[in-house]
Structure 1
C-alpha cells in the first residue's frame, strides 16, 4: 500500500527508519521556512505519510522538534570535531572550531534556532514524556565539550590564561551564540572588522 505521495508503507521492523524520515522531514521544513511551518500535518505531508502515523513515534510536535534538536547538535558536534582535528597549533584549532560553529548557524538558521528551544518547549515535553528528562539535560553537551577541549588545549599550551576551561568555554559559547543571533537579527548593523577574533581572544583568555 502507498501513501498519497506514492511512498510505500514501511515493512514490519522498519519503524526506526520511519522515525528518522519524520525527523528529516521536519528538518527540511525548518531549513526551507520558519519554525511555524513545522506542524504535524506539514511534517506528515513532507514525509509522505498520514498524520496519525506520527503518533507511533512522537507524542506531539514538541517531541519531533526535540529529536530535530538532538540530530542538529550531533551534526554540529561532528563539524566542530572535524574542525578541531585540523592542522595548526591550539589557538588555530580553537578559532577553527568557533568559525565552524558560526558557519553552521549562518547556513542553517532555522535548524540552529531549534537547537536552543525555538518552537518547542523543553519543560512541556518533559512533563508529557518524563523519560525525556535525561535526554534534554544532555542536549548540546557533546558540542559544548568540543569547545571545552579546545580552550583546555590552549591553556595547556600556555596560550590561554584560563584556569577553568569549562567556565571559559561557557562564556565563549555565550559570545558565539549572541553573535550568531545578532548577526542575523541586525544584518544592517555595521559590525566592526575583527569582531570574531575579539570575541574568541577575550572570552577564551588567549595570550601571546
Structure 2
C-alpha cells in the first residue's frame, strides 16, 4: 500500500469517526429524532453523499454509535470490576457503573438498547465490544460457576430494567442504592 493510499484510508477512518461522534453529540443535545442525515452532514461540514459513502442511512449511524457505546461501557465496567476485586463488591461495583453509564449518557444508552438496530446479542455475529461488556458481568462470577453466563444475563437484564425505569422516571431515583443492594444480595452467589 502506497503512502497516499495509507493517508486516504486514515482520512476516511477519521471522517467515519467524526460522523459517529457528531451524531452522538447531536443526539445527546437534542435527541435522536433531531439527528437527521441532513443535519449531521451540516454539522460535520461534509455533503450528504460523503456521509452516505460511510453509512447507508440513519440506522447504520445509530448502529455505529451503539457499537462505540458498548466499547465505552465495557471499559467502564472493567475499571469498576478491577477496582473492587472482592465478591460480592465486584458485582455491585459493575452494576453501579452500568447504572451510572446509563444515567450519564442517555442518548447513547438509547442507541445501544432502545432504538431498533441489527446489532445481534448472544450470537456468533455479536460485535466484540458488546461481548466485552457482557464478559465484565460474567467475570464477576467464579470460573467454576457452571451458570455464570446465565447469572450474567439475569443480572444484566435486571440492571437494564432498573436503568430504563429510572431513566424514564417510572421508579424514583432515591431508592437506587436499596435496589442495587437487593439485586446483588440475591444474585451474587459466586459458588458453583
Give the TM interval when normalised to the shorter protein. Answer: 0.7 to 0.9
Indicate conservation of the 8 Å contact 1:175/1:203, yes or no: no
Instruction: Tell me the SS of whatever aligns to 2:46.
Output: coil
User: In structure 2, which of residues 84, 91, 95 is the aligned counterpart of residue 94 of structure 1?
Assistant: 91
Does the 8 Å contact 2:76/2:97 carry over to 1? Answer: yes
Gapped runs of 5+ residues in structure 2?
A: 1-6
1:122 pairs, out of 112, 118, 121, with: 118
Unaligned runs of 5+ in 1: 1-10, 127-132, 157-161
The answer to whether the Cα contact below 8 Å between 2:69 and 2:109 also exists between their aligned partners in 1 is yes
- 1:96-175 correspondence runs (5 A): 96-118=93-115, 120-122=116-118, 135-136=125-126, 140-152=130-142, 163-175=146-158
CA contact (8 A) 2:24 2:65 kept: yes
Name the counterpart of 2:163: 180
How many pairs are equivalent? Answer: 181
Distance change in 2, residues 1:72/1:190 (3 Å): closer
TM-score (ref. length: structure 2)? 0.83
> Residues 135 and 45 from structure 1, CA distance in 2 versus in 1: closer, same or farther, beyond 3 angstroms?
farther
Query: Taking structure 1 as the reference length, what is the TM-score of the superposition?
Result: 0.77
